[in-house]
Amino acid sequence: MRDSLVAAAFRLFLERGYEQTTVDDIVALAGVGRRSFFRYFPSKEDVVFPDHERCLAEMTAFLGDGDDAADPVARVCDAARLVLGMYAENPTFSVQRYRLTRQVPGLRAYELSVVWRYERALAEYLRGRFAGRPDGTLRADVVAAAVVAAHNNGLRSWLRSDGQEDAGAAVDHALAHVRLVFAPDPPAAPAPAAGDTEEDVVVVVSRRGAPMWRVVQEIETALGRTSD
Task: Map out the domains of the chain as residue ranges.
Answer: 1-44, 49-181
What is the mean pLDDT of each successive set of 10 residues along the chain, which is 228 residues long? 92 93 95 92 92 93 85 95 93 93 92 94 96 93 97 95 92 94 62 54 64 65 56
DSSP string, 189-212: PPPPPTT--PPP-------TT--H
Cβ(82)–Cβ(62) below 8 Å: yes
Residues 6+ apart with CB under 8 A from 47: 5, 6, 9, 26, 37, 40, 41
- Which top CATH class is 49-181? mainly alpha
Cβ(87)–Cβ(167) below 8 Å: yes
Q: Between the CA of residue 222 and those of 117, 198, 207, 217, what are the distances in Å?
A: 66, 18, 15, 9
Q: Do domains 1-44 and 49-181 have the same CATH topology?
A: no
**What pLDDT score was predicted for residue 66?**
73
CA distance 34 to 46: 14
**What pLDDT score was predicted for residue 138?**
96
pTM of the model: 0.76
Q: Between the CA of residue 20 and those of 37, 85, 110, what are the distances in Å?
A: 18, 31, 18
**What pLDDT score was predicted for residue 213?**
60
Phi-psi category of residue 202: left, alpha or beta, with phi > 0 → left and psi -120 to 50 → alpha:
beta
Query: 1-44 has which CATH code?
Result: 1.10.10.60
**What pLDDT score was predicted for residue 16?**
92
Residues 6+ apart with CB under 8 A from 115: 148, 152
Q: Between the CA of residue 1 and those of 13, 27, 36, 108, what are the distances in Å?
A: 18, 10, 8, 26
Residue 197: Cβ-neighbour burial (10 angstroms; 0-12, 13-18, 19+): exposed
Q: How many CA atoms lie within 13 A of 146 on its CB side?
A: 21
CA distance 223 to 201: 10
